[in-house]
Structure 1
Amino acid sequence: MRKINTREFHRATRSTPREINRKILLNLVRELQPVSRADLARRMHVARGMITQLVDELIDQDVIAEGATANAPRGRKPKLLYVRTRDRYAIAVDVRFSRTHVALTDFDGRQLAMETFETVLNADDLVESIAVRANHLMEGRDPESCEGIGVVVPGMIHRRTGMIVNSPQMGWRDVPLRDSLSRATGLRVLIENAPIASALAHMWLPPFSHDGVDNFAYVTVSDGVGVSVVDDGEVFRGHGDIAGEFGHLPLNLDGPRCMCGMKGCLEAYTSNLATLARYFEVDAAVPATREAMRGYGFGMEDLIVRMRGGDAKAEWAIRETGRYLGIGLGGIITALSPARVIVSGEITQAWDIIREPIAAGVLARSLSPEAAATPIDIALTGDSSRIRGATALLVARRFAAPKVA
Structure 2
Amino acid sequence: MRKIDVRDFERATRTTSRRINLQIALNLIREHQPISRADLARRMDLNRGTMTALVSELVSDGSVVEGETTSTTRGRRPKMLFVRTRDRLVLGIDIRFSRTYVMVSDFAGQRTALESFETLFSPPDLVKELGVRIRRMRAQYDEAGEIEGIGLVIPGMVDQATGRVLNAPQLGWKDVEIRGSLEEATGLPVVIENASVACALGHMWLGRRGGDSVGDLVYVMVSDGVGVGVVANGEVMRGSGNTAGEFGHLPVDLNGPRCLCGARGCWETYTSNLATLARYLGREFSPETARNLSGHPGLTVQQVVDLARAGEAQALSAVRETGYYLGVGLAGIITVANPARIVIGGEIIGAWDLIEGTVREMVEERALTPQAARTPIIPEPMNEFPRLRGAAALVAAPFFAAPRVA
TM-score (norm 1): 0.97
Determine if contact 2:87/2:144 at 8 Å carries over to the other structure. Answer: no
Q: What is the rounded CA distance, in whole Å, between the counterparts of 2:251 and 2:322 in structure 1?
A: 15
* Residue in 2 that maps onto 1:311: 312
Equivalent position of 1:194 in the other structure? 195
Structure 2 counterpart of 1:9: 9
Match in the other structure for 1:278: 279
Correspondence list, 1:337-348, <5 A: 337-348=338-349
Distance in 2 (alpha carbons) for counterparts of 1:380 and 1:286: 28
For residue 327 of structure 2, what is the aligned residue in structure 1? 326
Identity %, equivalent residues = 52
In structure 2, relative to structure 1, the CA distance for the partners of 1:187 and 1:209 (3 Å cut) is: closer
**What do the CA deviations read for 1:147-197 (whole angstroms, capped 9, x no partner)?**
110011101111121111000000000111111101111100001111110
Of 196-205 and 302-311, the range deviating more from structure 2 = 302-311
Task: Summarize the alignment of residues 24-43 of structure 1 with structure 2, pairs less than 5 Å apart.
Answer: 24-43=24-43
Q: What does 1:82-101 correspond to in 2, within 5 Å? A: 82-101=82-101
Q: How far apart, in 1, do the equivalents of 2:241 and 2:323 lie? A: 31
Contact 2:346 2:382 in 1 (8 A): no
| 1:184-216 CA distance string (max 9 Å, x none) | 111000011111100111111141377732211
How many residue pairs were aligned?
Answer: 404
Cα offset, 1:142, TM superposition: 5.3
**Runs of 4+ that moved beyond 6 A:** none
| 1:79 corresponds to 2:82 | no
| Equivalent residue, structure 2, for 1:296 | 296
Shift of 1:309: 2.3
Report how far residue 327 of structure 1 moved: 0.6
Pair 1:258-2:259 in alignment: yes
Q: Which residue in the other structure is 2:127 paired with? A: 127
2-structure distance, mates of 1:37, 1:124: 50
Q: How much does 1:380 deviate? A: 4.6
Measure how far apart 1:342 and its partner are: 0.6
CA positional deviation for 1:48: 1.1
Partner SS for 2:256: coil
TM-score, scaled relative to structure 2 = 0.97
Q: Distance in 2 between matches of 1:212 and 1:392?
A: 16
The question of whether the paired residues in 2 share the 8 Å contact of 1:348 and 1:378 is answered with: yes
* C-alpha distance after superposition, 1:79-101 (max 9, x if no partner): 11111100000001111010111
Equivalent in the alignment of 1:386: 387
Tell me the residue number matched to 1:349.
350
Residues 86 and 166 of structure 1: CA distance in aligned 2, closer, same or farther (over 3 Å): same
Whole-Å separation in 2 of the counterparts to 1:52 and 1:209: 22
Aligned counterparts, 1:359-378, within 5 A: 359-378=360-379
Q: How far did 1:31 drift?
A: 1.5
Q: Find the aligned partners of 1:161 and 1:349 in 2 and give their Cα distance.
A: 37
Of 205-214 and 24-33, more deviation after overlay is shown by 205-214
Match of 2:109 in 1: 109
Q: Which runs of 5+ in 1 are unaligned?
A: none
Structure 2 counterpart of 1:224: 225
Q: Deviations over 1:338-367 (max 9, x none)?
A: 111111100000001110110111112111
For each residue in 1:52-101, what CA deviation from the matched residue of structure 2 results, as whole angstroms up to 9, or x when unmatched? 11111111111111111111111122111111100000001111010111
Partner amino acid for 2:110?
R
